[in-house]
């Protein structure tokens, strides 16, 4: 699903955010990416999305070499990826329904499909009764559930989550993790950056630990180690 081979990323200011990164994530895995602030987690996620080009090395996503992607193909490539951020990034002037429907319109789904699919996905994340609410009327946890619905509505191969529980309390964090776990059980691969030790230690998933741009541990059955 994802492979990194000798990947380096050096920013214009000479900061080396990724230093000889090598790993492979198979289809269906749930992987935590941990490390203190500045260790390179967001940079790694951005290179998978091709928001940033790595300086050297090879990244493959779903058997496609990212380097070889042409500019015109990048939007299509990103359609197969669901992304979730710490700050939710919802459209504040649109309802919950419209936030999720918009993601389907972007991929040119037809309106009948949208009408059927959006309520199903919102039910999956427990927001069936909030269809017509605006983001400002929701709690942080509910807003993040809308973001998850939006990320999964087009059935992505892979979900990339960058500190999705960073703004949430422990109880809400658990709810979000439960939903992501369900999404993963239905076959979607998940890579989630976090520095929440508690979450990582409870979930017993594979953990890739970063420090100063390097992978320092890669443990199959979890445990937050730095």
Q: Using CB under 6 A, list all residues that contact ligand ADP.
A: 11, 13, 15, 17, 35, 37-43
What 3-state class would DSSP assign to 159?
strand
59 has which bridge partners? 4
Could you give the CA distance from residue 202 to residue 220 in angstroms, rounded to a whole number? Answer: 14
* SS3 at position 196: coil
**Can you tell me the distance from the alpha carbon of 112 to that of 90, in angstroms, rounded to the nearest whole number?**
23
- Element of type H or E holding 214: strand 214-219
Q: Which residue is nearest to Mg ion (CB)?
A: 42
Nearer to ligand ADP (CB atom), residue 35 or residue 141 = 35
Residue 50 binding target from ligand ADP, Mg ion, none, CB below 5 to 8 Å by type: none
Residue 209 engages Mg ion in binding (rule: CB under 5 A): no
Phi then psi for 150, rounded to 5 degrees?
-65, -40
Q: Give the nearest distance from C-beta 40 to Mg ion in angstroms.
A: 8
CA max distance for the chain: 50
Specify the residue for token string 């939903």: 179
CB 150 within 8 A of CB 100: yes
**Of 16 and 60, which CB lies nearer to ligand ADP in the complex structure?**
16
Residue 190 CB, nearest approach to ligand ADP (Å): 17
At its nearest, how many Å lie between ligand ADP and the CB of residue 99?
25
* x-or-dash string of contact with Mg ion, 31-70, rule CB under 5 A: ----------xx----------------------------
CB nearer to ligand ADP: pick between 3 and 19: 19
- Min dist CB 33 to ligand ADP, Å, is 8
Strand partners, 83: 160
For Mg ion, the binding residues (CB under 5 A) are: 41-42
């Amino acid at each position: 699903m994802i492979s990194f081979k000798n990947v380096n990323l050096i920013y214009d200011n000479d900061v080396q955010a990724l230093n000889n990164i090598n790993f492979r994530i198979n289809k269906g895995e749930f992987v935590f990416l941990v490390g203190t602030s500045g260790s390179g987690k967001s940079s790694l996620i951005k290179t998978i999305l091709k928001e940033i080009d790595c300086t050297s090395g090879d990244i493959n996503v779903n058997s496609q070499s990212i380097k070889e992607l042409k500019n015109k193909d990048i939007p299509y490539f990103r359609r197969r990826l669901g992304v979730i951020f710490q700050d939710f990034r919802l459209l504040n002037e649109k309802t919950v329904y419209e936030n999720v429907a918009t993601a389907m319109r972007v991929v040119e789904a037809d309106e009948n499909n949208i009408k059927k699919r959006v309520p199903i996905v919102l039910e999956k994340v427990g927001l069936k009764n909030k269809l017509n609410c605006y983001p400002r009327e929701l709690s942080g946890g509910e807003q993040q559930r809308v973001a998850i619905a939006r990320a999964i509505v087009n059935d992505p191969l892979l979900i990339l989550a960058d500190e999705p529980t960073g703004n949430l309390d422990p109880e809400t964090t658990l709810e979000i993790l439960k939903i992501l776990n369900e999404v993963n059980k239905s076959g979607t691969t998940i890579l989630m950056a976090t520095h929440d030790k508690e979450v990582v230690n409870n979930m017993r998933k594979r953990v890739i630990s970063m420090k100063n741009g390097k992978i320092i541990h890669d443990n199959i059955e979890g445990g937050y180690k730095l």
